[in-house]
């Protein structure tokens, strides 16, 4: 269990909110081995990846209003949100092993990488230090 990434958003600066979005995108864009290594052992990795992005996505309207993301990046991130909204709910991608080769996760990685590019950010290992994990 974890507190949502946006939980302290009332005290976060717009730049910190942007960084939360960027790090969630890096988590989605990362190879499976990185995704599995940065998440605690007691979580469901597939759920946490989707939820971490979903929480961060809630910050996007504020970032748009603040002028911290451009319309191209907003369109890219909306495509990724739409992709996750259509995530199979039958359990077919729940197993962490599916992160390695399932088409759903490969497409999610590509969409996240395209969004990072639109934000002029690089794909690299995510820093999830802003998340408080609770067992």
Residue 9 has pLDDT above 70, yes or no: no
Total domains in the chain come to 1
Q: What is the pTM of this model?
A: 0.91
Residue-wise pLDDT tens digits, 118-129:
999 999 999 998
List the structure tokens of 62. 């504020």
Q: What percent of the chain has pLDDT over 90?
A: 81
Task: Please indicate, yes or no, if residue 8 is contained in any of the structural domains.
Answer: no
The range of the structural domain enclosing residue 92 comes to 14-118
Residue 8: predicted pLDDT? 52
- Give Cβ neighbours of residue 42 (< 8 Å, ≥ 6 apart): 133, 135
Task: Please indicate, yes or no, if residue 103 is contained in any of the structural domains.
Answer: yes
Residue 82: other Cβ atoms inside 10 A? 10
List the structure tokens of 114. 């395209």
């Amino acid at each position: 269990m974890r507190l949502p990434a946006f939980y302290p958003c009332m005290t976060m600066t717009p730049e910190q909110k942007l960084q939360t979005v960027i790090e969630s995108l890096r988590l989605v864009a990362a190879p499976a081995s990185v995704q599995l290594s940065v998440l605690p052992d007691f979580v469901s990795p597939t759920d946490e990846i989707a939820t971490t992005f979903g929480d961060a996505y809630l910050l996007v309207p504020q970032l748009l209003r603040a002028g911290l993301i451009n319309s191209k990046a907003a369109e890219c991130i909306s495509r990724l949100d739409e992709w996750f909204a259509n995530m199979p709910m039958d359990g077919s991608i729940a197993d962490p092993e599916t992160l390695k080769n399932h088409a759903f996760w490969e497409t999610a990685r590509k969409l996240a990488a395209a969004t990072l590019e639109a934000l002029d950010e690089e794909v690299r290992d995510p820093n999830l230090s802003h998340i408080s994990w609770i067992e």
